[in-house]
Amino acid sequence: MTLELIGTIAVAICLFIGAIFTLVGAIGLLKFNDSLTRLHAPTKVGTMGVGALLLASMIHSYTFADGSMHELLIMAFLFVTAPISANFMAKVNLHRRTCETPPPPPRDRTWSTLDAPGGHEDLVDVIAAERHGEETAG
């Protein structure tokens, strides 16, 4: 087996895996009911699909040409930014109350930013009161 044949087989496998992951992500985006569950399909499965497609492009460029680092940079940027953008989209949905809000936290009314006190000074007072309660209890 030559290097070109191994490279071609590896490219075909990566393309197939990338296409399956991307297809599953697209189907999930269409089939899920609300926006938070729809968010999981393109950010998780779709990211892996695009990563496999970029890996196929990298293998092809190093097998049949001089090689390229562009795909590696695109993949790194994709894997870094996809979770961050998913987090921001989820926060927007929580703030707009377009989805079911999470259950209340056990002992804290200032969880995330859903039920924040009136201002920064109130937040400092709440934290100081909680610390004072822990000191007197312990």
Q: Tell the residue number behind the tokens 């009136």, with chain if given.
A: 118
Cα separation, 30 vs 22, whole angstroms = 13
pLDDT in tens, 42-92: 777 878 888 899 999 999 998 888 878 888 899 888 888 888 888 888 788
107-128 mean pLDDT: 57
Asked if residue 18 lies in contact with residue 51, where contact means CB atoms within 8 angstroms, the answer is yes
Helices (H), 32-119: 35-40, 46-64, 70-96
For residue 115, is pLDDT > 60? no
CB 24 within 8 A of CB 14: no
The encoded tokens of residue 57 equal 């492009």
Q: Alpha-carbon distance 92 to 135, whole Å? A: 36
Q: Are the C-beta atoms of residues 105 and 130 closer than 8 Å to each other?
A: no
Domain boundaries in the chain? 3-101, 102-138
Could you give the 3-state DSSP secondary structure of residue 20? helix
